[in-house]
Amino acid sequence: MKHINEYIRHATFQKKMIPGFNVFGYEDSLAVVKAAEQANAPVLLMVNRDARRVMNIKHWGALLNSIASQASVPVGVHLDHCTELKSIQLAIENGFTSVMYDGSKLPLNENIMNTHQVVCLAREKGVAVEGEVGSVPYDDLGETRSEMTLPEEAWQFCQESQVDWLAVSVGNIHRLHEGKAKLDFSRLESIESLCQTPLVIHGASGIGSDDINKLKEHHVAKVNIGTVLRRAFGEALRQSFQENPAVYDRLTLFEKPAQQLEKVAYEIICQLK
C-alpha cells in the first residue's frame, strides 16, 4: 500500500482530492475510516486545536495510529492548525504522518522562516508539512474578511520554505454552512500557475458541490472538512437523547450519531475521489 503522502502528491494533477476530516474521539475516527474503506479511498484523520485541548498529542498519536494501522486503505494522521513548534515536534515523535504549521497570522518572512524550520524537523522523519499563506477566516469568530492569498507571496513562500502542501485563502471560510463560500477561481489559477506545490483548501464544509467539482480541475490535492461532520454527529446525538430519554449510556447514545457521520463522510469521500 502506498504511503498516504504519496497519494496526496499524486492527487495534485489527477483531478482527485484527498479529504482530511477533523475528528474528536474514538467513535468518529472509526466512522471516518469505515467510510473510507467502504469507498476504497485514502483519508486523513486530523487533530485540531479543540481536539488537542481535551486529549494530548501522545494519546491522539497512539489512538489514531492504531486505527490507521488496522485499516484496509491508507489513513494519514495529521496535526491541523498548529502554531507551536513544541507540539509539532511531539506530533512528529508520535507517529503523525503530516503536520500543519499555521503561520498565517504572521508577517510573510516570519511565516517562511518558521515553516522552513518545521520542514527541516519533519523531512528527516518522512513527515509532510503544510503551510498557509494569506489567512482563511473563521465565521464563528466573526472574521468576515478574508486575507486572500497573493499569488506572488505564495510563490515566494513555497520557494523559500520548501513546504510540501500549501493552504490558500481564495474565498473559503471556516465553519460556514454548505454553499455559502464564494470561491475566487481566477486567484486559484494565478497561484497554481506560479506554484507546483499541492494546494489545500480549508473550510470545505462551506463549499457547494458544484465548486467542489470545479476544485478537482485545479491543483488542489487535499481538502479540510470539519463542521459538516460535527453537525451530523451533534444533530443525531440530540435526536438520540430525545428518542431515548431513559438511556444514559454513551455507548448506546453514540451509535446512531456515528452511523450518521459515517454516511456523510462516505458521500464526501465519493465526491472527491
Active site residues: 80
Q: Does 146 engage in binding with ligand G3H (CB under 6 A)?
A: no
DSSP string, 165-192: EEEE-SS--BTPPTT-----HHHHHHHH
Beta strand 199-201 with 165-168: parallel, antiparallel or unpaired?
Answer: parallel
Distance CA 150, CA 169 (A): 9
| Cell numbers placing 247 | 438511556
Which of 3, 10, 16, 175 is in the footprint of ligand G3H by CB under 6 A? Answer: 175
Span of 7-15, 84-92, 109-117, 195-203 interacting with Zn ion by CB under 5 A? 195-203
Mark residues 59-98: x for contact with ligand G3H by CB under 6 A, - for none.
---------------------xx-----------------
Q: Which residue has the cell 487533530?
A: 47
Q: Does 78 engage in binding with Zn ion (CB under 5 A)?
A: no
Given a contact cutoff of 8 angstroms between Cβ atoms, the answer to whether 165 and 118 are in contact is no
Q: Which of residues 6-65 bind ligand G3H (CB under 6 A)?
A: 22, 48
Span of 3-11, 105-113, 124-132, 198-206 interacting with ligand G3H by CB under 6 A? 198-206
Q: Does 169 engage in binding with ligand G3H (CB under 6 A)?
A: no
Which of 206, 211, 219, 265 is in the footprint of ligand G3H by CB under 6 A? Answer: 206
Count the neighbouring beta carbons within 10 Å of the beta carbon of residue 99. Answer: 27
How open is the CA angle 209-269-236, to the nearest 5 degrees? 85
**DSSP classification of residue 12:** T
Q: Which residues are annotated as a binding site for Zn(2+)?
A: 81, 102, 132, 174, 202
Interface ranges with ligand G3H (CB under 6 A): 22, 48, 80-81, 174-175, 202-206, 224-227
